[in-house]
Structure 1
Amino acid sequence: MFVVIMGAGRVGYLVAKMLEQDGHDVTIIEMNKERAKELSLLVNGLVIEGDATDTKTLEEANIKQADAFAALTGKDDANLLACILAKHLNPNVRTSLRLGNPKNKRIFEEVGDLKKYFDFVISPEEIAAEYISRNIVTPGFDRVLFPREGAEIVRFYLTESNDVAGKLVKDLKLPRDALIVAAYDDKGNLIIPSGDTKLPGKGQIIIFAKNNVLDDVKGLFERKKAENEKV
């Protein structure tokens, strides 16, 4: 995949490096001269010093051949305009829009006519705030958030001391709004569970659950066996 990235601050740079590590071709557009010079030594792809809200700069970055365009600067207005221009030059390009102000994201989502220019909209600040607040309220999870849906994917590590270890899924009495989507034994083998699946004595459990049942799920999977059961 060929990806053009606008802005190479901390977010843009990390995205570029991750894409390159996965074998994708990346071109970065960066307005700051010194930053662009520095980046040319840090990434494998082309680094262009310029303004991605300028059609000529996008064309220089070969936007018409790009599979994806990500506007990742800290300036919402510039990101919006750049995505619109990229889509105009290449209607097939997949655009990703970063909005730094969560309020702008909510307003933007209500303007239906603009959505055709943006395939993916994200507010890293909002996600970070949500992640921190969820960890304050219900600590102890490895988690992936779904803020809009009010749900999370969480991971538990099992040992033989956990009460659920070795039990059948159908016998766990999981809350209604929680689902075990995967299990791994201590050798890393993946299990897609059904009701008749026996959980490993040691390993990991991946659960998709609504936020309102996470405390119950946590209590179930962290509960220890009674002493007489361990013997």
Structure 2
Amino acid sequence: MHVVIMGCGRVGASLAAALQRLDHTVAVVDKDPESFHRLSRHFHGSHVTGNGFDRQVLVEAGIERAGAFAAVSNGDNSNIVSARVARETFGVDHVVARIYDPKRAEVYQRLGIPTVATVPWTTDRFLRMLLPEGVATDWRDPSGSVAVLRLPLHEGWVGKRVLDLETALGCRVAFVMRFGNGVLARPHTVIQADDTVYVAALSGTVTDVTATAQRPPEESE
């Protein structure tokens, strides 16, 4: 597959090298010709100087035969405009844009452009390395508002209903991994030993949700 990358910063250069190792053809676009020095000396794709949202520049980079386009420059506006041109003008199937502002990322998702919200994603990666297992999230929506995380449960929750867990934690059970299979749990589904429970929670409540789950459930009178 041919892939066009807009932006030859560290991310763009690394992505180009990774795609080439997977035997894809790659073209990199950047308005600063000096940026191409970041490309690996083993890179044998093409590089085009110009703005990534300029149609002629994209044509020169092979956008008309591209199966994928990645906008990873350091500007949100440039990334989203070039991504929309790739999708709407040239009909590229797989398009993604890197966005620094998580609030804007949600808007762009609604326009049909998949985004990587850099700040929330990076934050979660650091949390995975700094904090105990189960505290960091496994997925976060582009706005950073809702998180999905694997929940470390106290053994006292075994035998309790999903509804009881949701009520106590103030979140929703997204799914349960049981014997290696994903299960869409219903409110009256009973939690079993060795279940791995994933919940969806508002980002600001993740710490409280995790702490509550690690305590035994309060017995109702």
2:145 paired with 1:145: no
After superposition, the C-alpha distances for 1:192-219 in whole angstroms (9 at most, x for unaligned) are 2112322221242100112354355323
1:29 and 1:119 map into 2 onto residues whose CA distance is 20
Spell out, residue by residue over 1:106-156, the C-alpha distance to the aligned partner (whole angstroms, 9 max, x if none): 5xx69xxxx97x8245441365358769x99x9951302236362211112
Relative distance call for 1:99 and 1:202 in structure 2 (3 A) is closer
Structure 2 counterpart of 1:70: 70
Say whether the 8 Å CA contact 1:28–1:48 is kept in structure 2.
Answer: yes
1:51 equivalent in structure 2: 49
Note closer, same or farther for the CA distance 1:177–1:10 as it changes in structure 2 (3 Å cut).
farther
> How far apart, CA to CA, are the structure 2 residues paired with 1:209 and 1:77?
30
Letter in structure 1 aligned against 2:189: T
2:186 matched residue in structure 1: 194
Aligned length: 208
Describe the shift of the 1:193–1:13 C-alpha distance in structure 2 as closer, same or farther (beyond 3 A). Answer: farther
Judging changes above 3 Å, is the alpha-carbon distance between structure 1 residues 153 and 13 closer, same or farther for their aligned structure 2 residues?
Answer: farther
TM, length-normalised to structure 2? 0.66
Structure 2 counterparts to residues 1-231 of structure 1, below 5 A:
2-13=2-13, 15=15, 25=24, 27-29=26-28, 31=33, 32-38=35-41, 40=43, 47-53=45-51, 55-76=55-76, 78-79=78-79, 82-83=82-83, 86=86, 89-91=89-91, 95-100=95-100, 102=101, 106=104, 119-125=113-119, 127-128=121-122, 140-143=134-137, 144-146=139-141, 148=143, 150-158=145-153, 162-172=155-165, 174-175=167-168, 177-185=170-178, 187-224=179-216
Q: Distance in 2 between matches of 1:84 and 1:121?
A: 12
Offset at residue 61 of structure 1 (A): 2.9
Root mean square deviation of aligned Cα? 4.4
| Alpha carbons of structure 1 residues 50 and 127: separation in structure 2 relative to 1, 3 Å | same
TM-score, with normalisation over the residues of structure 1? 0.63
Check whether the contact 2:3–2:66 (CA below 8 A) recurs between aligned residues: yes
Q: For residues 149-174 of structure 1, what are the alpha-carbon distances to aligned partners after superposition, in whole Å with 9 as ceiling and x for unaligned? A: 6221111245xx52212322233352
Q: Give the Cα separation in 2 of the matches to 1:217 and 1:127.
A: 20
CA positional deviation for 1:175: 4.8
Q: Aligned-pair distance for 1:177?
A: 4.7
Where do 5+ consecutive residues of structure 2 fail to align? Answer: none
The alignment partner of 2:45 has SS state of: strand
Summarize deviations over 1:6-56 as a string: whole Å, max 9, x none.
2344433555577789x794524054343334352xxxxx62122252645
Alpha carbons 2:149, 2:198 under 8 Å: kept:
yes
C-alpha distance in 1 between matches for 2:173 and 2:121: 24
Judged with a 3 Å threshold, the aligned counterparts in structure 2 of structure 1 residues 33 and 152 are, in CA distance, closer, same or farther, namely: closer
**Residues in 1 aligned to 2:14 and 2:48: alpha-carbon distance in whole angstroms:** 20
Q: Distance in 2 between matches of 1:155 and 1:24?
A: 35
Provide the C-alpha distance between the structure 2 equivalents of 1:177 and 1:183, rounded to a whole number of angstroms: 17
